[in-house]
Amino acid sequence: MHKILHTNLGRALFFTALGFGLFLASNRIDELRVYQGATLAMFVVAISSLILLTGYSGQVSLGHGAIMAIGAYAAALARIHWGLPVWLCFSAAVVVAAFAGAVLGTAAARLSGPYLAGTTLALAVGLPSIANQFHVLGGEQGLLFDIGQPPSWLGADFTSYKWYFWIGSSACLITLWWLQNILRSRYGRTWRAVRGNEVAAQLCGIHAGKSKTLAFSVSSGLAGLAGALLAMTISTVSPSAFPLSLSFTLLTGAVLSGITTLPGVIIGAVTLVATPEIADAISQRMANSESVTTNLPGLLVSALLILVVLFVPNGPVEQMRMFRVKARSHTKN
Amino acid sequence: MTLVVSDLCVDHGAIRAISGVCFEVGKGQLAAVIGANGAGKTTLLRTLSGLKSTSSGTAFWNGHDLLHAKPEQLVRLGISHVSEGKSVIPELTVEENLNLGALWRSNGAEAPATLIQVLATFPRLAERRSQLADTLSGGERQMLAIGRALMSKPELLLLDEPSLGLAPLVIAQIFQSIRDLTSAMGLTVVLVEQNAMSALKIADIGIVLNLGSVVVSDTAKNLIENPQVRAAYLGY
Amino acid sequence: MYQFINTVLNGITSGAIFSLMAIALVLVWRSTRVINFAQSGMALLSTYIGFECIQRLHSFWIALPLSMIAGAFFAALVDTFFMRVLFRRTADGPISGVAPIIATLGLLGLIRSSLGMIVGNSDASIRPPVSNVGFTVSGHTLAFSPLKLMTLSMVIALMLGLTLVFQRTNLGLALRASAYAPEIARLAGVRVDAIRTIGWALAGAAGAAAGMLQTPNGNGALAPDSLEFNLLLVFGFIAAVIGGLESLVGAVVGGLVLGLFLAFIQYYVSGSLVFIAAFCILIIVLLLKPKGLLGSKAGRRA
Ligand SMILES: Nc1ncnc2c1ncn2[C@@H]1O[C@H](COP(=O)(O)OP(=O)(O)OP(=O)(O)O)[C@@H](O)[C@H]1O
Ligand SMILES: [Mg+2]
């Protein structure tokens, strides 16, 4: 199994098989779960973009929610004004967000940890207000993002939620496959080198600034895609869909996944999707007062974030790997 | 009243910087620790002042364990460490740097008296009291660093390469002050030096370190005359 | 002309409050090299405590110091029982650089949502302790009111007090030494860990004051999910960066510059561009003067 995954063709086949499995699954589960599946796919893409940034280039962004908004608005505008087909709208989201990321990344490359964190935080707070300034962005209500009915050849009982799920999981699988490849490429190695030791990397002839800008830009492109996916599932793009808390939630997801490694991404995404439901269940059992209901998800997410940083700072996947290495060295002795 | 170090081993990760070092310094003695670059001299001092944790061995100062205490606690036992490379704080004035050394002493009343004493020892500092340490020359900074250590009223002074980057004349001056202080205040001094000859000249005993182990330790006089030491460290 | 004067006065007042928040961030940054993203949450908590004090004691003037003490106490607890543990557990390893950022964000979320649960959506508000009706000068009503004058003078008093502590007292010397050169400070006998906690406590008090002054200066309403405190955090951060992140004087200068700049954008360009303008000034400063307007050397000393 592992060997197969280490070849290009193997990985492509693996992701195709996974996609087929998901497609079959979508026929057997109820609508709500299908919808959650679409959200899950969106979170996987968004969290991967953050992991790429933090885990492979050592930068941290508190403003990926804002970059998602950029992608979402790009997709919606392309749809409304040019009536582009859906897949082109998503591509537009990626390109525009990646471009914004490149601009921001140029500044970001010169900033170290806390500076970048603060700057992206300022972006997350500042960006939504632009929607109110420019008429084309639709103000508080935002814009409609309607990706249309599923194609008729999929059958009459193919619901739009299923269609969302389909699009979402395809985008997600393509993203993961592509990420696996790029992280194994020269770029991936460069990023790891820069994260490991910026000075040493520079001495080896790597342009650390360029490499960081590229990482920021690629990460933003993926975030833009996630933004468009989010907009798709809620059919609108508005400032309130991309609040500051979204950026924090994503970061939590990334930390839960193990912010330095990609394979854990599904753990983070599932947790983010599950948290509101768990919170709901708990608050219904408990007080069922409004203040508990609205605040419990936030409380759970923050508590998880803190617990993970304190006790499994490298994430569950890395932790398991370390356990295994330890166990192995024990048996050897 | 002695410093007793025995079987001391210190690691930097996988590198053993000090292995099995033993020596003793009596009260009022000035011990010079000499050795090539990377011999482990700085590591030794950092261990004695609590900045670096040990792997094994013991070190006692007047019966107090040095190896399981923090630097700020050791200062209170009368140990002052002047770390490698002019350990002054450039953003503070000369006077503030000096006062820093006396901050911990609860009866602050004597601090001004100590200040006067230190300024008398290093008159150049007196002229520059309110100047930022950033603007001092290398020699003045070294005086300031030693002065700051003296402000803590130490009984054991650990000096790491006070001659680093200084002109020969200034080195002679600083070494003379160190000798005078030792005698006048009854200080015990461990002086780490590259500049082996100058150090041995003012020292009572000498300890030669190589690759983390003590090669020879003897009275300074004997060491100067020891042909092997002369060949390896004194250059003639 | 009056419009211009009003804009300047408004800018200075709001800038002064940003300065307080910036001071809080700088104090923590200098003592532990952490940007405390939970600072706004801590300020929020202290402001709620201040609000409760006002309810019981009916005096803003007693509530203000009480909330500052509460803020200081809470910050000291956070440093002792949270940050120290965090540093020990993530000292090395791949995420050592980002762990404090993540941890303080988590703390922010925790404070906000627990506060939300406790106080719910009961509406709290802090009424201005003095009138907020503008002074009248030769028939024109200025935007500058007794409240704004009070805010400004409180901020100036606090800043002077802090400066005195830093420049004239032994504690101040220990605080500065631990910030600039912790190792040398330890060798000189300063208990750097304890001093850091005191740095956090001072920051907690400054943040509490910022919250207590900002709330009546805005519309008075206090809510756990208020945007106001997010803005306070972001603007405080920008002000601190403008001032070079190392210096208290820089933080004050940064706050005033930012306050004035935003006031002019608000009155003469557009209200909804204020946030993004703040972001732009941050980017510009970081690209052109990454060490802050004062420059690193001068900045570190002050
Ligand atoms: N922080 C550290 N991490 C890893 N290795 C270290 C560290 N500090 C010192 N070493 C290693 O320990 C050994 C002893 O170093 P130390 O600084 O004690 O030497 P020294 O005798 O003071 O040299 P010099 O005369 O050049 O100052 C060296 O091999 C050095 O590379
Ligand atoms: Mg050395």
Q: What is the ipTM of this complex?
A: 0.90
- Structural Rg of chain C based on CA atoms: 19
Higher pLDDT, A20 or A114: A114
Quick one: pLDDT at residue C27?
Answer: 92
CATH of the domain at B48: 3.40.50.300
pLDDT grade, residue C110 (50/70/90)?
Answer: very high
Quick one: pLDDT at residue C256?
Answer: 94
Quick one: pLDDT at residue A257?
Answer: 86
Is C106 part of the contact surface with chain A (CB cutoff 8 Å)?
Answer: yes
Q: Is B93 helix (H, G, I), strand (E, B) or coil?
A: strand
Q: For residue B15, which ligand has an atom nearest its CA?
A: 1
C191: which chain B residues are within 8 Å (Cβ-Cβ)? 72, 104
Per-residue pLDDT tens over the stretch A216-234: 899 999 999 999 999 988 8
**Do A and B have ≥3 inter-chain CB pairs under 8 A?**
no
pLDDT grade, residue C298 (50/70/90)?
Answer: low
Name the strand (E) or helix (H) holding A184: helix A160-184
Ranges of beta strands (E only) in chain A are 143-144, 236-237
Q: Which atom of ligand 1 is nearest to the CA of B35?
A: 21
Supply the residue whose CA is at minimum distance from atom 19 of ligand 1: B38
- Dist. CA A255–CA B19, nearest whole Å: 42
- CA within 13 Å, CB half, A221: 17
In total, the C-beta contacts within 8 angstroms joining chain A to chain C are 162
> pTM, whole model, 2 decimals?
0.88
Mean of the per-residue pLDDT values for chain C?
88
Q: Which residue of B has its CA nearest to C185?
A: B100
Q: Which domain holds residue B230?
A: 2-234
Q: Is B189 helix (H, G, I), strand (E, B) or coil?
A: strand
Name the strand (E) or helix (H) holding A205: none
**Residue C241: Cβ within 10 Å count:** 32
| B38, pLDDT greater than 60 | yes
Query: What is the bridge-based pairing of β-strands A143-144 and A236-237?
Result: antiparallel
Phi/psi at C141 (nearest 5 deg)?
-90, 120
pLDDT grade, residue A212 (50/70/90)?
Answer: confident
Query: What is the bridge-based pairing of β-strands B156-160 and B188-193?
Result: parallel
Ligand 1 center from residue B42 Cα (angstroms): 7
Residues 150-209 of B with CB under 8 A from C: 151-152
Does the beta-carbon distance from B51 to C174 stay under 8 Å?
no
Pocket test for ligand 1, best of B8, B9, B10, B15 (most atoms within 8 A of CB): B15
Residue extents of the structural domains in chain A:
2-242, 245-333
- Dist. CA A286–CA C193, nearest whole Å: 41
Per-residue pLDDT tens over the stretch B131-161: 999 899 888 999 899 999 999 889 999 999 9
Residue extents of the structural domains in chain C:
2-288
Minimal C-alpha gap between B164 and chain C (Å): 18
Sequence-distant (6+) residues with CB within 8 A of A39 are: A168, A233, A273
**One CATH from 1.10.3470, 3.30.2250, 2.40.10, 1.10.10 for C2-288:** 1.10.3470
Beta carbons of C302 and C247 less than 8 angstroms apart: yes
Quick one: pLDDT at residue B188?
Answer: 92
Give the CA angle between residues A83, A84, A89 to the nearest 5°. Answer: 120
Beta carbons of C261 and C11 less than 8 angstroms apart: yes
Quick one: pLDDT at residue C302?
Answer: 60
Minimal C-alpha gap between A170 and chain C (Å): 31
Q: How many domains does chain B have?
A: 1
